[in-house]
A and B are shown apart, each in its own frame.
Chain A
Amino acid sequence: MLHHKTVVGLRKVGLGSVGGLGPWSGRVSHPFPAPTHPEWPRTVNHQLPSIATKRLHQMRASRAMAAALVGVVALAGMLMSSAGNASASSCSGPLTNGEIRVVLVVDSSDLGGGASATCLVVPAGTTGSQLLARRGSELGTGSPRYGSSGLLCAIDGRPATGCGDKSSSGFGYWAYFFEAGGNWNYGNSNPFTKRLADGAIEGWRFVVGGCGCGQDPTPRIGPSLSLFPALSPALAPAPELPSLPASGSATGTPSGASTGGTTASTALSGGDVTIDPITGATSGVLTSATSAVEPVVVGDVALAASSSTHSTAGRWIGIAAVFGLIAVMAGGAWVQTRRSR
């Protein structure tokens, strides 16, 4: 059902996105999952068990359809070309003037991907959508795909087809969140216009059977400040702070909390970081990607890219043929009109 494109749905989404104030109004705080990581990696990857996914589906199946609201929420963007070629400082390295550090959480567990958090250094004034595009290029997962209305269709090539489609259980779409007060907040702003501040945490989660409202589930990685890696020793404000694994995020220490099927708990004490094994109702597995970037769906993206390039020539031929046909018709019509006069 997800693959089927809905013209009507698209249009609704489009209208909502142009005019909409309402769509960003749903704002619900969620319990605070606090995954952390032993080594302050740049990317954290969660893999979710499929049973849990199924349950989530059922939970959301009954949610009312609020078509127009969805799209706007899921509006997303790519990195603008101007922002794209900014030199990438390391997230743990020094910031040059006009740079900010932000974390982007992307959760595509429901599509068979994982949940990841990526820290990025970007120019000040970068928008939410630019950040998303920047992440794609850094991870090599390709640019996000957008619908004609500006609705975000796919991140990392997931889902492969469709865009904000509605099924009988609700909408399948990328929901947009941001961190405020240590909680995920349902996107109350437009990713195309929202300017990020230093230390911002942005989240995207693919929701299946969602309502397009603030009740839709949050990313499975919580918006903890601990997602930011520690600054490199040379920059560390206080020499007594631990070096690499230690974090500048000693402030706002979150306590472990649990949601849905996954729990990751963290205990930060002083400079030491330990990771508790996963606990929780379901036997969730936290796969931690320790260090570098781990592209989630490189294969798919590459496939899509190649399929779109190799048929381009054929498409042009088809287009030329159809427009030739149209030209013949127009010519014929013109001749007929002249004759009848």
Chain B
Amino acid sequence: MIRFEHVTITYPEATSPTLFDVSFEVPEGELCLVVGVTGSGKSTLLRAVNGLVPRFSGGVLSGSVVIDGRTTSDVAPRDLADVVGVVGQDPAAGFVTDYVEDELAYAMENLGVAPDVMRRRVEDILDLLGLHELRNRPLASLSGGQQQRVAIGSVLTAGPRVLVLDEPTSALDPAAAEEVLAALTRLVHDLGITVLIAEHRLERVVQYADRIVMVPGDGRPVVVGTPAEVFGESVVAPPVVELGRLAGWSPLPLSVRDARRVAGPLRDQLASVGTEVFSRAVRSLGDVVATTDSLQASYGPITALRGVDLEFRAGEVVALMGRNGAGKSTLLNHLVGLREPAAGAVQVMGSVPHRLSARDVVRVAGLVPQDSGVLLYHDTVAAECSASDRDAGLVHGTTRTVLDRIVPGVDASMHPRDLSEGQRLGLALSIVLASEPPLLLLDEPTRGLDYGAKQRLVEVLAQLAADGHAVVIATHDVEVVAAVADRCIVLAEGEVVADGPARDVVVHSPVFAPQVAKVLAPLALLTVHEVELALAAASDSSYS
């Protein structure tokens, strides 16, 4: 169905090709997962499927991409619309209308589907993706996860035989991600659609994949094979695979279910160790940095926050979790003064953030927004750093020092756009951190990060908390929460429904529990690293 033959793609002004001599084939009716570290060219590969690369991106493609017997160099993307549906990384950027129903019908209108057929298909897709309650809503009023589902629905209505999705679950909460993936598997199994997915959160997708295409990104050839084959040696692997490697299970388990079947002996071994070993050393908490007092917020008639009372202390890492649209980003925006409370109060370091001038607010609270790239608008890393020093009135070189601590060795002359996802996040983070705000807020910091980059971020955040910052991360990524958070707050419909030590909140939730916790339940172990520590402790105790 999809065939890449010796495809090499070089972007204009790039010194080396983004993809080099890629050849693989995806047969009809398979769900194929594209994995690789950030910046390895996964998105490029996906966008080449229907010819958006190089037609809309510029650059040179040699070799050929054949879809359903048609070569993309001969056919424009629009004429492949009935064969290939593409959902990009940012669903909102691809919306072509203002309302959900119109968006779903758009591709069919272009294909000339008869009106009654359109009606029927729209209803089908609304049901399939659970969108019927949103059918008349403006797209802009939807949360990220809802937008993602509409975006998928809008290409599905055209009845494509190939579906290409770039990180379809990265913006989704775990439950919504499950839903979307379940819908995709149904499409593959029932309708024989071929699906090509790029995803960083392998823990979510691996179990559904029939085939993995690994793009190493460093010039080595792509690896194609079944999940078990590929993850045997892959540098990127979900926690369950890591756990399997640690425990020496063979074949490697790909799902929690597989792992639980073989995990009995490991559980027993770990249960013999006291639980206190598993818990992270509790950091000493400092003063209260920020408070919200019955904070309320609304967007037009929709209430985003209803009476939130919270307190953030220096030295803690707080994870803010909850469904898409639960009010996480709204809360962060209030803490940094981007929005004015509809009722209630916000205080950060004794002042009201939205009344502070821009220069003063960065000294008390810093926010790294979801798309950290929006903070960067200079030509070079060096220019970004010096501008940041100037803006905040800091000694020249402060930002660069912070950057070197977070991500060492970033070339100062590079354009921020050419940095890897992790480096870019690091740069944005260091700009925010340069004026040393006691309160540091991060909105979905792990979106688009591979496991390695995530691990480095976790280390940085832990260090910042140790230095006395209060760190708040709004995230769907339970693995990151498991790795770094001391405290976890769950928001639902604008209210706080859970607030407590991360371990307690996470382990007992079927949705928010990380893979390791699920495998080892009822043991309260969250990460592979903790298992490692516990095993070491267990062997120590057996020797003594």
Contact = CB atoms under 8 A, between A and B. Distances in A.
A, B in one complex? yes
Contacts of B298: 341
3 contacts: A340-B300, A341-B298, A341-B300
A341 B300 CA distance: 5
A340 B300 CA distance: 6
Interface string A316-341: 00000000000000000000000011
Interface in A286-341: 340-341
Contacts of B300: 340-341
Interface residues of A, number: 2
Contacts, number: 3
Closest 3 CB pairs of A and B: A340-B300, A341-B300, A341-B298
A337 to B, nearest CB: 11
Nearest to A340: B300
Nearest to B342: A341
Interface string B288-311: 000000000010100000000000
A341 B298 CA distance: 8
Contacts of A341: 298, 300
A249 to B, nearest CB: 70
A285 B300 CA distance: 81
Interface of B: 298, 300
A340 B298 CA distance: 11
Nearest to A341: B300
Contacts of A340: 300
A45 B298 CA distance: 79
Interface string A228-241: 00000000000000
Nearest to B301: A340
B303 to A, nearest CB: 12
A34 B298 CA distance: 84
A341 B342 CA distance: 10
A341 B297 CA distance: 11
A341 B339 CA distance: 13
A303 B319 CA distance: 82
A314 B300 CA distance: 45
A3 B300 CA distance: 53
A256 B328 CA distance: 94
A300 B298 CA distance: 66
B161 to A, nearest CB: 45
B171 to A, nearest CB: 27
Interface in A25-40: none
A31 to B, nearest CB: 65
B140 to A, nearest CB: 15
A340 B299 CA distance: 10
A259 B300 CA distance: 78
B154 to A, nearest CB: 29
A161 B298 CA distance: 58
B304 to A, nearest CB: 13
A341 B343 CA distance: 13
A292 to B, nearest CB: 71
B242 to A, nearest CB: 49
B377 to A, nearest CB: 30
A73 B213 CA distance: 74
A265 B300 CA distance: 85
B273 to A, nearest CB: 56
A237 B300 CA distance: 90
A341 B301 CA distance: 7
A191 B212 CA distance: 80
B299 to A, nearest CB: 9
B134 to A, nearest CB: 21
Nearest to B298: A341
B187 to A, nearest CB: 40
Nearest to B299: A341
A215 B298 CA distance: 70
A340 B301 CA distance: 7
A341 B340 CA distance: 13
B526 to A, nearest CB: 42
Interface string A254-273: 00000000000000000000
A264 B294 CA distance: 96
B232 to A, nearest CB: 57
A195 to B, nearest CB: 48
A235 B276 CA distance: 120
A248 B91 CA distance: 89
A194 B300 CA distance: 61
B343 to A, nearest CB: 13
B339 to A, nearest CB: 12
Interface in A7-44: none
A341 B299 CA distance: 7
